[in-house]
Amino acid sequence: MLANLRQSSPLLVLGFILLWNSGFIGAEFGLDYAGVFSLLWWRYALLAVLLMLCLAVCGRLRWPGTRAVGLTSVVGLFSHGVWLSCVMISLELGIPAGIVALVVALQPMTVGALSGRVTGEPTSTTGWVGLVIGFTGVLIAVVSRARMDEAISPLLYLVPFGSVVAFTIASLLQRWIEVQRPADHVPVFQALFYQSLVTAVVAVLPALALEGMSTRWVPEFFALLGWLSIAVSLGAYALMWRLIERMDATRVASLFYLGPPVTMLMAWIALGDTLQTTDLVGLAVTAAGVVLVYQAGRLENRRRVRL
């Protein structure tokens, strides 16, 4: 079954979308029990310990080399630490979740713009059309819900842009490693171990200094921490790195467009939130854009093979 899963990109894509977007709901709940950096510390300390034990038992706890570990640690610091911190800090500051989701959804655009220069895999005209359509779907779903709060300083809206920059750097660097420096490739679960370790080490300082590691230890938090650590930080990220191994960064990044509408759909199912007609329209338009980006990527790959 695992072998079939590895061979099936559609299943990887579906699993990534569902697990990744469940993390937004989980993170918002998690902030009721711990501060941003304390939650980040517990989440990644737990994951680092679990991965260390699993890798040790399987005989796969190895040192891939200083350069390889350094590169994957930088990827992890940006994709786990900086990205998640900016999202959660934005929510704590009171920035509407719709605005945060809209800003974060700019990431596929930035990846598409830089992919050609960094990885040597430029985005085609058709791919750009798909990116624009996808972003239009996000606008439809989010703008109808978003509200600008005049009590919040406009400068604070720069915080979610940190997530865009961080994840753009991480995804392009990871794809650059796969394409340009395959010798520095680290297997997915080993990479996640080193990424979790560096994220936990960096998070512990602000968690202690700014929050005193304050945490409400209740059964709900244990369950939430397990889900965020294992299902999201392990499962979703493992699927994402696997997808980046297989396809260009722009196609993988386009999946992030599905974040806002899919999260709204999940909130409707799990939390009873009201589902608006614009949510479904936005999801349909976004899905059409993502499909177009994928088709453009496949056609470009076929063209390269023929050449």
pLDDT digits (tens, 9 = 90+) for 113-126: 788 777 777 888 88
Residue whose structure tokens are 């779907």: 137
pLDDT at 151: 56
The C-alpha torsion from 199 through 203 and 205 to 210, rounded to 10°, is: 170
Rounded mean pLDDT of the chain? 83
Compute φ and ψ for 148, nearest 5 degrees: -85, 130
pLDDT number for residue 4: 39
The percent of the chain in helix, strand and coil, each rounded to the nearest 5, is 80, 0, 15
Does residue 160 sit within a domain?
A: yes
- Count of beta carbons in the 10 Å neighbourhood of residue 276: 14
**How crowded is residue 179: how many other Cβ atoms within 10 Å of its Cβ?**
15
User: Residues 239, 14: contact at Cβ < 8 Å?
Assistant: no
Tell me how far apart the alpha carbons of residues 39 and 214 are, in angstroms, rounded to a whole number. 9
Packing angle, helices 159-180 and 97-104, rounded to 10: 30
Enumerate the H helices of 155-235 as residue ranges.
Answer: 159-180, 188-211, 219-226
Report pLDDT for 277.
81
How many domains does the structure of the chain reveal? 1
Residue 45 lies in a domain: yes
**Distance (Å, whole) CA 84 – CA 107:** 14
Of 180, 236, 261, 229, residue with least CA distance to 51: 229
144 occurs within a structural domain: no
Domain assignment present for 1: no
**Domain membership flag for residue 101:** yes
Phi/psi for 248 (5° steps) reads -65, 155
* Stretches in the chain below the pLDDT threshold 50: 1-8, 148-149, 305
**Whole-angstrom Cα distance, residue 285 to residue 307?**
33
Domain span including residue 247: 24-117+152-256
Q: Look at residues 56, 52, 89 and name the one whose alpha carbon lies nearest to residue 210.
A: 89
Q: What was the pLDDT predicted at 6?
A: 43
Contact 234, 199 (CB under 8 A): no
Measure Cα distances from 277 to 22, 135, 171, 204, 259 in Å. Answer: 21, 18, 33, 43, 17
Are the CB atoms for 106 and 204 separated by under 8 Å? Answer: no
Dist. CA 266–CA 144, nearest whole Å:
18
Q: What is the pTM of this model?
A: 0.81
CA quadruple 180, 192, 26, 227: dihedral sign:
positive
In a domain, 104, yes or no: yes
Quickly tell me which residue has 């990431």 as its tokens.
Answer: 107
> CA–CA separation, 296 vs 307, rounded Å?
17
